[in-house]
């Protein structure tokens, strides 16, 4: 092979490898996206069945219940318009509190209960997790027409 053809072959091989890498990256990206839904969207059956997604909102006051002799907890997440029951087995994060914002990742069971594999609260006391805030804000937007109450939102 002439040096020139050889160089061309190497460049082609390099580009091929880059192309394959890009394809792998994009397919991994596609299959690992986790979408976010509000309780209202879930109530309207917009969320997927079987595929994990995130739900966010406020932990409904008075809804937290523990099962005896296990680490399973049940609580309800609300965006102030709709609520969705959640069950989770494990330790809850420090910032998990009734009336505060929460984001849970998991799957929706056929019984309508959201089985969380992860409960996230990577935020501080001053603000809500962005997803939780978005859920509440969206629900409020839906309700402004009725404008029944203008309660102060938790956090900012």
Partner 1 sequence: MIPELGHFALIVALLTALVQGILPMLGAAIREPRLMALARPAARAQFVLVALAFACLAWSFVANDFSVQNVATNSNSELPLHYRVAATWGSHEGSLLLWTLMLGGWSFAVTLFSKNLPAPMLARVISVMGLVSAGFLLFLLFTSNPFERLLPAAAEGRDLNPLLQDPGMVFHPPLLYMGYVGFSVAFSFAIAALLGGRLDATWARWSRPWTIVAWAFLTVGIALGSGWAYYTLGWGGWWFWDPVENASFMPWLTGTALIHSLAVTEKRGAFKSWTVLLAIIAFSLSLLGTFLVRSGVLTSVHAFATDPARGVFILAFLAIVIGGSLALFAYRAGKVGLGGTFALVSRASMLLANNVLLIVALASVLLGTLYPLFLDALNLGKISVGPPYFDTVFYPLMAPAAFLMGVGPLARWTRTPLPELAARLRWALGVAAATALVAPLLLGRWSLLVAFGLFLAFWIFATTVVNLRQRLLASPRRGVLGKLRANSASYYGMVLAHLGVGVFIIGVTLVKGYEVEKDVRLDVGESVALGGYDFKFVGVTPQPGPNYRALTGKVEVRKDGRLIETLAPEKRIYNASGQSMTIAAIDTGLLGDRYVSLGEPVSADATNIHGPWGVRIYLKPFVDWIWMGAFLMALGGFIAVSDRRYRLALKSRAARVFGDAVGHAGAD
State both tokens at 16. 């091929």
Place of tokens 């979408």: 35
Q: Is 24 in the site for partner 1 (CB under 8 A)?
A: yes
Give phi and psi for 32, each to the nearest 5.
Answer: -115, 10
Stretch in the footprint of partner 1 (CB under 8 A) among 75-83, 106-114, 116-124, 142-150: 116-124
Interacting residues with partner 1 between 57 and 86 (CB under 8 A): 66, 68-71
Beta strand 83-89 with 114-120 is parallel
Q: Is 35 in the site for partner 1 (CB under 8 A)?
A: yes
> What 3-state class would DSSP assign to 111?
coil
Instruction: Compare residues 30 and 148 and give the one whose CB is closer to partner 1.
Output: 30
How far is 125 from 21, CA to CA, in rounded Å?
A: 41
Instruction: List residues binding partner 1 (CB under 8 A).
Output: 6-7, 10, 14, 18, 21-22, 24-25, 28-29, 32-36, 54, 66, 68-71, 89-95, 122-125, 127, 130-131, 133-134
């Amino acid at each position: 092979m002439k040096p020139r053809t050889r160089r061309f072959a190497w460049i082609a091989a390099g580009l091929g490898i880059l192309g394959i890498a890009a394809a792998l990256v994009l397919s991994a990206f596609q299959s690992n996206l986790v979408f976010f839904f509000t309780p209202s969207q879930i109530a309207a059956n917009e969320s997927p069945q079987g595929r994990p997604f995130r739900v966010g909102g406020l932990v409904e006051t008075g809804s937290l219940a523990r099962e005896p002799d296990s680490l399973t907890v049940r609580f309800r997440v609300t965006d102030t318009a709709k609520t969705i029951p959640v069950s989770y087995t494990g330790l809850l994060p420090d910032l998990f509190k009734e009336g505060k914002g929460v984001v849970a990742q998991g799957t929706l069971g056929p019984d309508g209960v959201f089985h969380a594999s992860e409960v996230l609260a990577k935020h501080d006391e001053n603000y809500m997790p962005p997803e939780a805030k978005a859920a509440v804000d969206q629900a409020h937007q839906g309700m402004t027409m009725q404008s029944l109450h203008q309660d102060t939102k938790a956090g900012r």
